[in-house]
Structure 1
Amino acid sequence: MQNKIHIGSRQVILNYNKAYPKNRETLLGSESFKRFIGYFIHSVQEKSPKLYDYVTRHGKFTEDEATENFVTFLRILAIFKIEEIDSDYLTERELLLELLEEIYKEWRSLQRFGYMYSEKTPDFGINNLVQKDSSLNDLILRTYRLFEEKVQGRPNLVYRQVQAGTNACFSVHKAKEFTKPDQYKKLEDIPIIDTVMLRTPMILHPKSSKRTGMFTEIDQNPLNTFRFEKDDWFCFPMKVGKLLCFVYFNSKYTATALSLANLFELATREEAKEKPDLIVLYGNEDNKNETTFYHDTENDIWVGSISDHPRVEYFGYMKKMALTLHNLAMMSQGWLPIHGAFVNITLKDGRTKGIMLMGDSGAGKSESIEALKVVGKDIIKDIDVVFDDMGTIHIENGVPYGQGTEIGAFIRLDDLDPGTPYRDMDRSVFMAPENPNSRMIVPAAPYRMVVSNHKIDLFAYANNYTDEYGLKELEVEEVKETCKQGKRMALGTTQEVGISTTYFANPFGPMQQQDVCEPLIDEVFQSLKDNGVFVGEIYTHLGFDKMNRHGLHEAATELLEFIRKD
């Protein structure tokens, strides 16, 4: 990573402190540009033998020689008029134009990131980072257009302001003060992210689009055997609910890790000096292909480890490991984790209700809320999202309150109303939109709202497997048993197919420690009953025909009627 440019795993990482092209001359003359052209020439041999033959002059040059020759040609082309240049590359203008286009496409097909050290830049501020990154974007765009227009012999008639530089950039610092226990001191060498800029919509193409396997508890701290090259790792410090979580990630997963900025609150530099409650090692090169966690009871730190493997490039691994650790930590404090969605609905006449829906992946929690937005568009004033996937219920002075964990939502595109992804796309990160189980990560709520207490007026289990419609109030004991059984019709969001059951519909903490969770369930459901909360089931029908949204419409309509009641 201390190299000026790192190319691998279909991504590029630029170290702005070591190599930053201020103009076209330094860009084309840089070692980083030469490395990329060499990378392209090697990759084009299989994809386009015609272009490979052209750039190597039909095998006259080796790849290294072709790289040197073509880079030299581009430097000359940037300065002189094309009529003043004597080069074999100009004998076939159409092939040259095609080659330039393919080089530009190859660059933009990579996941591209830039970073800089904030403490090494005098008077560093977000403007330094944004200005550097934006100037690079403009420089690459103008350079490509210059070459294209010179070779084709005329200006372009249509210009597209695409993201020609990076997909995202970030600044880091080295932690000089660490209030961590001694056995965690080696992590001090890993730079900590303090600022992130995403160029949205950010479209990523991870190798995996599904989570498999389970998170299992082990009896040894993964830190004991954690080996790393400090220049290949970064730390993303974030708030999961009220807990501080340090995600240490292998740089090959930078795209996935930076996407966390749309889902969790980034911790401040001051907060990052504190002892974390949770630690995630993402891309751990332990050759185990495991997803495990450990509770360091002496220091009260929950540590999760995700082995380096192509399958874990799916964002769900990082997200769910952090949530699993959070849920385990909160259960130890007497808070009950809820796998579901919780929103505060405010009608135009001023009435407000807190709606909490619970269910495992694919049950229809988020989809029901989206359908509610549609059916209530004329009478709903505001919908404030407390959580879209994972939250908690805790009891204060005999009253049950809900809190959230995330400031965003990680949503299946197929499960949304067709227009929804486009409504929020300007702020979103899209994951493999061309594949089944494609997802988007979109900001949903400010952090202050997520970690505030919110009153619960309705608690319903999202049932996608029963051939019923609407919303039904049931006996609290019956709903409690339904929730503990955690039944659903799996829709392919994980490795499961057909009807499945998961303890308390939550494989992210409660399932692993059922003995801890069981008394919390009894306490919370008794509190819901004592406080007169509506407890029942909402029938989404998604397990029968997820393309037919009639069931969701019926459920949302009855949900709206409940909200309108005094």
Structure 2
Amino acid sequence: MTNSQNISTTSIYLNLARKIAILDNNQKYFNNGFDLLNSQEMELVVTQFLNSEENQISSIQQLDAQTYITMIKQVLTDQSVNATSITSTTLLASIEQFYSFYRSFLRVSVINAASNQVVASEFLTVDDRFNDLVRTLYRNVEEKLQNSSNHIYRQVNAGTNASIMTRTVQWDTPKAYSSLISIPFLDKIMLCPPLMMHTQSNKRKGLFTAVDYNPITHFSEASEDWYCYPAKVGESLAFIYFHKDYLVNGLSLANLFELAQPQDIQDHKPDLILLFGLSKTEGQVSHYHHDLQNDIWVGEVPYNDQTTYFGYMKKMCLTLHNLHMIDQHRLPIHGSMVQIQFTNGKTKTVVFFGDSGAGKSESIEALQEIAGNQIIHMETIFDDMGSFTLDSVNPHELYAQGTEIGAFVRLDDLSSAVAFNNMDRGVYLNPEQKNARVIIPSNTYDRVIAHHHIDMWVYANNYDQAVGIHRFETKNAAKQTFIAGKRFALGTTDEVGMSTTFFANPFGPVQEPEQTRPIIDQVFNFLFDQNIYVGELYTHLGNDKSKESLHQSVQELLNVLMTM
């Protein structure tokens, strides 16, 4: 992928439009401040700063990179700066602008485990040293220019705010996928939360559609520009390949999907493959294909600004996984599941069901807020997507599993307490914009994929005026509501107002409704035969932003659970 705003040397890559900086420690590592100042990499970054809008001082705007760097070295060695029009105050103000300019990038260091085993074993230490180096260089220049030491020190991540270690692993590669063999897998990831990142797009549009060709035929990319995040999506093994300009998305996956280890990859064939950021696709939309010969679900997402929104990566992964579940005769559930331990000794598991914005995550948060002394402990098993499986061994059992170890939620829908309590673990996307999101880890992989019994399944109804919870008297009435997938859209996608989505799940069931319907029938038959509570919870999110009505509804839900 070539772009006039993509600039690189052998050891640094800058995407100016997407504010991404990749530092390749396999090619070069800086041991001290002058090593850094004398490098081609420093000259490249300074050049971009001098030509940027962040450089707002007219006397500095006239300089070239070499002159600017020479001035910094003169300051460090206590020499007079050879520029009569530039005072210490002016240069200090410029240094602050330059420091802010560099730190406005997502800065990721990369090391390959095979390139240097000694360094690889000190993965975190290597990155810490570089951050110390940049901080120390900045402070030395700052204190010399202000002619005094600082009294307050802020240990910001000056050099990088993320680091990845990559590894090449041999996997069971069908011949059609040989072009992917040389792309390295992410093996270890270090994030420095709270990680604030930005993307050009902040909303998902449209649906993912099937195509009759395999998207791998479109992959003609340079392998050095790509990474693979090997993920455990539920019980599916997914190889998520992404172009380096989508590092914001790729790193965000660390808070959402379990990172598969080399033993999970070695000699294994993935269930799912996603090619994210293809320069060649059929139109500028996202597609999927079931490679029947190799039994791999393959997705493609084009390289453009629209697809920088993290929802495209998350939801395409879930679409592929859900299609895989349907193919295995499991029922994908667009919902959240929570297990509650009550003070009366009872433990109940509740699944909230509904499309984006219906109130699934908000209902769980409301439970936490009003729990009081009724609840000892509450555990979120999954926050967005799970599946129901009718046990083939035990015909009297149905169990639920989740897909994600984290939650991708709107900041507007979180209370300040929840948002701030998770700040030290969160990845924040476009935090100052509408539909701002945070990705926070919520549970362990083992707990997410464990087989969980279900005590209650409720549809999150965000459009009706009623308050409380309503139990469906008949199976057909329940199926009609769940299959209609009605909701009032809250701006999380390009939909507005009242909308309907087949089975409230545009990520699998919508694509394959005829294959999904028999599974829906079997699940509802089981639930009503076993007298399991199936109802709807009135969340009011389409009408009442105060959450007072939601709290009343959730309180009624708690009362029902405690008496079941």
Gapped regions of structure 2 (runs ≥ 5): 1-7
The equivalent residue for 2:4 is none
Q: Determine whether 1:424 maps to 2:422.
A: yes
Counterpart of 1:532 in structure 2: which amino acid?
N
- After TM superposition, list the pairs within 5 Å mapping 1:5-154 onto structure 2: 5-8=12-15, 9-44=18-53, 47-48=54-55, 50-51=56-57, 53-57=58-62, 66-78=64-76, 80-81=77-78, 84-88=79-83, 91-123=86-118, 128-154=122-148
SS in 2 for 1:193: strand
Q: Is the 8 Å Cα contact of residues 210 and 437 (structure 1) preserved in structure 2? A: yes
Q: Which aligned runs of 4 or more in structure 1 are off by greater than 4 angstroms?
A: none
- What whole-Å deviation, never above 9, does each CA across 1:478-533 have from its counterpart, x for those lacking one? 11110100000000000000000000000000001000000000000111112221
Q: Name the CA distance, whole Å, in 2 between partners of 1:103 and 1:123.
A: 33
Structure 2 letter corresponding to 1:38? T
Q: Specify the SS of the correspondent of 1:343.
A: strand
1:179 deviation in Å? 0.8
The answer to whether the Cα contact below 8 Å between 2:219 and 2:278 also exists between their aligned partners in 1 is yes
Compared CA separation, residues 151 and 282, structure 1 to 2 (3 A): same
For 1:115, what is the secondary structure of its paired residue? strand
CA distance in 1, matches of 2:491, 2:362: 16
Q: What does residue 488 of structure 1 align with?
A: 487
The residue correspondences of 1:277-292 to structure 2 (distance < 5 A) are 277-286=271-280, 288-292=283-287
Which of 192, 197, 219 is matched with 2:190 structurally?
197
Question: Is 1:255 the equivalent of 2:248?
Answer: yes
Equivalence for 1:160: 154
The code of the aligned residue for 1:161 comes to Q
SS in 2 for 1:462: strand
* Equivalent-residue separation in structure 1 for 2:510 and 2:100 (angstroms): 46
Displacement after TM superposition at 1:549 (Å): 0.6
The aligned runs of 1:262-301 (5 Å cut-off) are: 262-273=255-266, 274-286=268-280, 288-301=283-296
Equivalent of 1:331, from 326, 329, 334?
A: 326
2:461 — aligned with what?
463
Deviations 1:59-100 (A, max 9, x none): xx5xxxx1111112222322x22xx32410674222211110
Residue type of the alignment partner of 1:75: K
Question: Post-superposition shift, 1:171?
Answer: 0.5
User: Measured at CA, do residues 91 and 438 of structure 1 come closer, stay the same or move farther in structure 2, by a change above 3 Å?
Assistant: closer
3-state secondary structure, aligned to 1:151: helix
Give 1:222-371 correspondences, 5 Å limit: 222-273=215-266, 274-286=268-280, 288-371=283-366
Q: Deviations over 1:447-490 (max 9, x none)?
A: 00111100000001000010000111112321111010000000
CA contact (8 A) 2:71 2:81 kept: no
Please name the residue that 1:411 is paired with: 409
Aligned position for 2:521:
522
Distance 2:559 2:161 in 1: 44
Q: CA–CA distance in 2 between the matches of 1:354 and 1:90?
A: 71
- Alpha-carbon distance in structure 2 between the residues aligned to 1:86 and 1:165: 26
Residue 542 of structure 1 aligns to a residue in which SS? coil
Deviates more, 1:468-477 or 1:323-332: 468-477
Please state how far the C-alpha of 1:122 moved relative to its aligned partner.
Answer: 2.2
Distance 1:511 1:354 in 2: 27
Partner of 2:450: 452
Alignment pair present for 1:377 and 2:372: yes
Structure 1 partner of 2:3: none
After superposition, give the CA deviation of every residue in 1:373-418 in whole Å (9 maximum; x if it has no partner).
Answer: 1111323222222210000001112211110000000011111223
Cα distance between partner residues in 1 of 2:84 and 2:522: 77
Distance, in Å, in 1 between the alignment partners of 2:331 and 2:353 is 12
Q: In 1, are the aligned partners of 2:357 and 2:492 still within 8 Å (CA)?
A: yes
Deviation by residue 1:529-562 (Cα, 9 ceiling, x = unmatched): 12221011000000112x2111210121012112
Q: Which amino acid aligns with 2:356?
A: S
Question: 1:124 deviation in Å?
Answer: 5.6
In 2, Cα distance between equivalents of 1:406 and 1:89: 59
Cα gap change, 1:324 to 1:89, in 2 (>3 Å):
farther
AA aligned to 1:247 is I
For 1:422 and 1:131, the matched residues in 2 are separated by 28
- Give the letter for the 2:13 counterpart: H
Equivalent pairs, count:
549
Amino acid paired to 2:245: K
Give the Cα separation in 2 of the matches to 1:280 and 1:86: 53
Whole-angstrom CA distance in 2 between matches of 1:564 and 1:294:
46
- Picking from 4, 7, 10, the partner of 1:3 is 10
**Aligned sequence identity (%):** 41
**In 2, distance between residues paired with 1:75 and 1:220?**
58
Is the Cα–Cα contact under 8 Å of residues 218 and 278 in structure 2 kept in the other structure?
no
TM-score (norm 1): 0.95
For the Cα contact (< 8 Å) 2:230–2:239, is it kept in 1? Answer: yes
* 2:503 counterpart of 1:504: yes
8 Å CA contact 1:460–1:537 kept in 2: the answer is: yes
> Is the 1:41–1:67 Cα contact (8 Å) retained in structure 2?
yes
Q: Which moved more, 1:159-168 or 1:507-516?
A: 159-168
The Cα offsets for residues 341-388 of structure 1, whole Å up to 9 and x where unpaired, read as 111111234310010010000000110010011111323222222210
Secondary structure of 2:52's counterpart equals helix
Measured against aligned partners, the alpha-carbon deviations of 1:301-355 in whole angstroms (never above 9, x if no partner) come to 0000000010111110000000000000010111000001111111234310010
| Partner Cα distance (2:262, 2:460) in 1 | 40
